[in-house]
């Protein structure tokens, strides 16, 4: 049985959080990225429209993936949290701008975020 190396990649561009979790955990050839929301470099929430929060969240996801040696093209699964189901058409439109066919496996959950957030995304990826 082989030993799987576990690491916690992070660099100066990785968004910080004031909560107790690692932005990413790499276990062998799998990279698990914690939920990324619309926060600035200091971890402060940056509320806005659904679109602005979606874009900032995915940009944060890209930063975490880069620190772990991956990118959006190597994402194999996403989990998406959308507060208001009315935003699902816009979510699908924006999602297609960042994730291309064949698309990653995906789960989308609604009615699950506090009033302060419109969107959050997490993923599993492989190295680039």
Which helix (H) or strand (E) segment holds residue 98: the answer is helix 88-98
Residue 46 falls within a domain, yes or no?
yes
Residue 59 falls within a domain, yes or no?
yes
Could you please report the per-residue DSSP string of 41-77? TTS-B----HHHHHHHHHHHHHHHHHHTT--GGGEEE
Residue 1 falls within a domain, yes or no?
no
d(CA 30, CA 51): 29
pTM of the full predicted structure? 0.94
Residues of the chain with pLDDT under 70: 1
Locus of tokens 């996403």:
78
> pLDDT value at position 127?
97
Domain of residue 84, CATH code: 3.30.1330.40
Per the structure, the count of domains in the chain is 1
Domain encompassing residue 106: 6-125
> pLDDT value at position 118?
97
Give whole-number Cα distances, 116 to 21, 80, 97, 113, 127, in Å. 20, 16, 25, 8, 33
> pLDDT value at position 1?
56
> pLDDT value at position 70?
97
> pLDDT value at position 67?
95
Residue 105 falls within a domain, yes or no?
yes
């Amino acid at each position: 049985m082989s030993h799987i190396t576990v690491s916690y990649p992070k660099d100066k561009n990785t968004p910080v959080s004031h909560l107790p979790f690692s932005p990413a955990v790499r276990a062998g050839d799998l990279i698990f990225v914690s939920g990324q929301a619309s926060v600035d470099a200091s971890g402060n929430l940056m509320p806005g429209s659904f679109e602005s929060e979606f874009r900032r969240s995915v940009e944060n996801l890209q930063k975490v993936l880069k620190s772990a040696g991956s990118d959006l093209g190597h994402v194999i699964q996403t989990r998406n949290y959308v507060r208001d189901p009315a935003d699902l058409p816009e979510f699908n439109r924006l999602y297609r701008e960042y994730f291309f066919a064949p698309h990653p496996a995906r789960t989308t959950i609604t009615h699950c975020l506090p009033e302060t957030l419109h969107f959050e995304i997490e993923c599993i990826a492989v190295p680039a």
